Amino acid sequence: MRDLEVRLEDGALWLRLNRPEQFNALTGEMVIEAIQQLRGAVSREDVRVVVLTGTGDAFSAGADLGGADGQVKYDADSVDAANRVIRAITELDKPVVCGLNGIAAGVGMSVALACDLVVAAESAALTLAFTKIGLMPDGGATATVAASVGRARAMRLALLSDLISAQEAFDAGLVSHVFADAAYAEGLGKIVRRLASGAPLAFAATKKAVNAATLGGLGEAFARERADQSLLLRTEDVAEGMKAFTEKRRAEFKGR
């Protein structure tokens, strides 16, 4: 069973994160394949829309921090890889839809919000979560969240790592659609089919224009996030945060 399931159906390229026991935490291999699929979709005439979704109770819990070596596994290269995924999503000249089937946390939320439409099940939820382990948001989230909800709400989500429901996210402008769980699959399918049968040149021009108007600072956000995250990754606070995460307890930060 593949950690990233790939299928093409009626013009839609479905990329399904498939590590349900780990809440679809992202491995390096999953990220690399997702980037390859997104980049490859640029030249594929049989792909009109891309869908990112997950299996089980989560969309994605973010980076895989399991085990005792979380601080080693999550490094500047991990930040770079996340940024490449976000670039591949935002630069693809075709619509990218997030099927938010469950919780999206950390860089999983960053990936979800980079998509052009976020179609959520009512039971789904989102949290940036980074500060809980002594890190800052990355994957371009400092730009995409602020572009969606403004500075005050962006600060709330980033600093407090609040968990917000799909309905709260819709009301705040973070997601585009919310469906009752029983209607979610059908609702997502209808939206994907509409995009797959729509006008591809118009979609490409629209996406380019909206992203230019709202995400013009994304490149600078990537650079700032990488620089500051690299510094944070070397701190005692992050070591404590990741240890606490593994031990399922609240971290005790010392500011060093």
Residue 200 in any domain: the answer is: no
Residue 92 in any domain: the answer is: yes
Residue 199 in any domain: the answer is: no
Residue-wise pLDDT tens digits, 178-206: 999 999 999 999 999 999 999 999 999 99
Q: Which residues of 213-238 are buried (b: 16+ CB within 10 A; e: fewer)?
A: eebeebeebbeebeeebeebbebebb
Q: What is the 3-state secondary structure (H, E, C) of 134-177?
A: CCCCCCCHHHHHHHHHCHHHHHHHHHHCCCEEHHHHHHHCCCCE
Q: What is the pLDDT of residue 248?
A: 87
Q: What is the pLDDT of residue 125?
A: 98
pTM, 2 dp: 0.93
Residue 24 in any domain: the answer is: yes
Q: What is the pLDDT of residue 67?
A: 57
Domain count, the chain: 1
Residue 147 in any domain: the answer is: yes
The parent domain of residue 120 ranges over 4-182
Q: What CATH number should be reported for the domain holding residue 105?
A: 3.90.226.10
Residue 214 in any domain: the answer is: no
Residue-wise pLDDT tens digits, 120-177: 999 999 999 999 999 999 999 999 999 999 999 999 999 999 999 999 999 999 999 9
Residue 167 in any domain: the answer is: yes
Residue 198 in any domain: the answer is: no
Q: What is the pLDDT of residue 151?
A: 94
